[in-house]
Every structure is written in C-alpha cells, then in structure tokens.
Amino acid sequence: MHKKSLLCLLFCLLCFCVPAAAEDISFDTPITMTVNSTLIKMDTRPFLHKGTTFVPVRFVSEALGADSVTWDSQKDQAVIVHDGTTIVLPKGKKTAYVNGEAVSVDSGIILAQDRLFVPIRFVSENLGCQVDWIFDTYTVNIQKDGITVPLSMVGTRHYTDDEIYWLSKIIHAESQGEPMRGKIAVGNVILNRVASRDYPNTIYGVIFDRNHGVQFSPVLDGSIYQKPLGDSIIAAKRALEGEKVVGYCLFFFNPVTAQSQWIANNRTYYTTIRNHEFYL
C-alpha cells in the first residue's frame, strides 16, 4: 500500500473512533424542573439531548438532598452517595455503577460548558424518586417523600402553565412549518397584544378576542384546539421568558393565503420570516 493511501486510511479510522463531542447540545429549550411541586432555579440551565433531560450534577446534591456528591479528578468521575446507595458516573461514558454494579446509561454522561451533566431520570430513579415528564409544559416533575428544597433553590416565574398551554396552541395553529424564529415571532405578537391597552390583557383573551371580529383564523376553523408539537411549546416558553424577534409588532399575516390585505395597507411593515409578514 502506498504511504499516502495508508495515511488516508489512518485518518479515516481516527475520525470514526473519536467520541462524539457535546457541540450539538443546545441550552435554548426552556425546561422547567420541579421537586415535590416546588419550582427549582439553577445557575446552569438543564438541556435536552436525544430525548433525555440532563441536569448539572450539583442539582442532585442540592435539590434532591443526596448525602454527598464528589468529583474524583484522578478517574474523571462523579460519585453520588445517598441512603446507602453509591452511584459512580464516569465522564463521557455510557456505563454508570450503582453499588458497584455496571448499569447502562444509553444517553451518556456529558461534559458541557465545563460542567458535568447527568440524565435526571437515571439518577433520580436510582435515588428512589419518581420522575414524570409533562409534555404540555416541558416540565420534569420529581416526587419523593422527605425532600425539602433549600430556599436558595426555590424558583419563581412570571407566567403560568395555562399561559404556556394557550400560547403554544396559537403558535402551533398559526405557524406549522415555520422556523423556530417564526414561531417565537407569533408568540411575540400575542404577548405584545396582551401588553397593549387596545387588546384584552390575557393570552386567552387575545386569542379569542372578537371586539373587531375574530382575530385569528384558527379560532374560526377550530385548529386552535389541536395538540401543539414540541417546537411550539418551546417557542411559547422562549417568548414568555422574554425572547423577542419582532419588536413590538401587533400584526402578522401570510400575504399569499390571506383573504384581506388590510394589515399591509394600514400598518407599518417590520419584517418577513418565511411565510409571514409582521407589522407594527
């Protein structure tokens, strides 16, 4: 074999052997964490990766009340101890050890932003907790008797589950097929109307406002009652948490499918995101 061909082969083998990095991890999905129905705040946001929710290992010791969480720098692994159970989590591996027995962790143990993140369901259940995923609000709900969340970790937020519910429904009904930025923009319009004195002061009230006729076609055709997909729930939470992409726009429409051009003729154009034009 020629030297050049051998070098190419070695390069290809190395590429296939390198472990997957955490570069594709996104912290843009707002995941709510609750322990015994208490909202948790963390200094580092949890993230979703391949359908699994990851939290920083510090969360386990503080929110779930583990006896200790230590870092073994020589072996690159976290060690969680609680009520006679010892969980060893080697960095970057897909095998953990519970009381010395190897247990598969398909989603892995991930280092991101210089923090070790662990699959919350795996750790919680091995500590005797019940874990539920609430899809409608993207919430991880952990239940276990005897856990008291420290006051320093008790969180608050300025929006309710009901607001997530209705905002995600109108986003889904109005922007199926639109990019995330376009979905957040639709959420922005709804929230801008809530803040305006010219419209009702609730998300539900804005969606079903009939002061000048039905405002949104999904209310007429019934699609407002469809179950939203996950990306619409994410967009709703990102909008509720203050992410703005269309400023103070109060109107949007699809110029191709709209039966009326009133918005274009009477309002100030702001921007276009794929199929929707947005107006102040």
Mean predicted confidence (pLDDT) in 97-123:
87
DSSP β-bridge partners for residue 132: 141
Position 164 scores a pLDDT of 97
Mean predicted confidence (pLDDT) in 229-236:
96
Position 106 scores a pLDDT of 78
CATH 1.10.10.2520 residue ranges of the chain are 161-279
Q: What kind of fold does domain 161-279 have according to CATH?
A: Arc Repressor Mutant, subunit A (1.10.10)
Q: Locate 280 and state its tokens.
A: 């102040």
Mean predicted confidence (pLDDT) in 232-240:
97
What do you get for the CA distance between the two ends of the chain, in Å? 68
Q: Locate 195 and state its tokens.
A: 């803040």
pLDDT at 13 over 80: no
pLDDT at 25 over 80: no
Question: Rounded to whole angstroms, how far apart are CA atoms 28 and 9?
Answer: 38
Position 142 scores a pLDDT of 93
Position 265 scores a pLDDT of 94
pLDDT at 239 over 80: yes
- Mean pLDDT check: name the lowest of 81-85, 164-168, 171-175: 81-85
Position 175 scores a pLDDT of 95
pLDDT at 31 over 70: yes
Mean predicted confidence (pLDDT) in 178-201:
97
pLDDT at 3 over 80: no
Architecture of the domain defined by 32-153: 2-Layer Sandwich (3.30)
Mean predicted confidence (pLDDT) in 114-119:
85
The pLDDT tens digits for 38-76 are 999 988 889 988 888 999 888 877 888 888 888 888 988
HSE, side-chain direction, 13 A CA sphere, residue 105: 30
C-alpha 166 chain-centroid distance = 17
pLDDT at 255 over 90: yes
- What does residue 156 show for φ and ψ, rounded to 5 degrees? -135, 160
Instruction: Identify the band that residue 14 occupies on the pLDDT scale cut at 50, 70 and 90.
Output: very low
Position 24 scores a pLDDT of 62
Chain mean pLDDT for the chain: 87
Mean predicted confidence (pLDDT) in 243-265:
93
Contact between 164 and 136 under an 8 Å Cβ cutoff? The reply is yes
CATH 3.30.457.10 residue ranges of the chain are 32-153
**pLDDT higher for 258 or 234?**
234
Instruction: Identify the band that residue 16 occupies on the pLDDT scale cut at 50, 70 and 90.
Output: very low
